């Protein structure tokens, strides 16, 4: 049966419908976005047809704030990233670490990629469609940290709230002196 994403019927598919991160951006990131917006508005005005005089830079800044949180890696059939795109309808889908959908792309040379939402299980009519915003092979605590840092929320899906994977995650990820399939990076290993 058909399934729908929560709230998708009220979405127009426009970038302006998507959540903006403007209020959550640090001052330095806002400054970078404003600089990019000024450069784009003055150097490539044809990207903004119909933008009212003097508002082009604000329109670009607004698009950057929305794109950062609502973009998708466009992948080939092997799930290798080829680029990024903003697909407002799929951006309306919520996250789950136990998703019932997978995002795929139909790629035709010379045409924009077409995003396809593929269901992975039988879904009751009216049930929410979900996909994962993060790599599902990561341990639960790393998924949680990534979701909090990038998207500003903690996952409370059935997989995370049950705690069923915590023991498996702990056994798979071990410190340097312990046994495990994956070694945990030393604290501060990726600090800049």
Give residue-wise pLDDT tens across range 96-147. Answer: 999 999 999 999 999 989 999 999 999 999 999 999 999 888 888 889 999 9
Band of the pLDDT at 160, cuts 50, 70, 90? confident
Listed in sequence order, the residues at least 6 apart from 117 whose beta carbon sits closer than 8 Å to its beta carbon are 90, 93, 101, 102, 103, 129, 131
> pLDDT of 46-55, one tens digit each?
777 777 777 8
pTM, two decimal places: 0.68
3-state secondary structure of 170: helix
């Amino acid at each position: 049966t058909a399934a729908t994403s929560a709230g998708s019927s009220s979405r127009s598919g426009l970038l302006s419908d998507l959540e903006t991160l403007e209020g959550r951006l640090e001052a330095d990131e806002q400054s970078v976005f404003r600089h990019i917006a000024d450069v784009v508005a003055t150097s490539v005005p044809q990207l903004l047809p119909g933008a009212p005089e003097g508002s082009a830079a604000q329109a670009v800044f607004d698009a950057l704030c929305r794109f950062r949180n609502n973009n998708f890696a466009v992948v080939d059939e092997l799930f290798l990233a080829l680029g990024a795109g903003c697909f407002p309808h799929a951006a309306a889908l919520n996250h789950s670490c136990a998703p019932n959908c997978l995002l795929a792309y139909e790629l035709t040379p010379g045409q924009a990629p077409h995003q396809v939402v593929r269901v992975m299980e039988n879904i009751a009519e009216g049930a929410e469609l979900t996909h994962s915003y993060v790599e599902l092979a990561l341990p639960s605590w790393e998924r949680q940290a990534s979701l909090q840092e990038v998207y500003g929320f903690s996952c409370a899906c059935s997989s995370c709230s049950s705690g069923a994977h915590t023991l498996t995650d702990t056994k798979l990820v071990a410190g340097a002196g312990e046994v495990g399939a994956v070694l945990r990076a030393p604290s501060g290993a990726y600090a800049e």
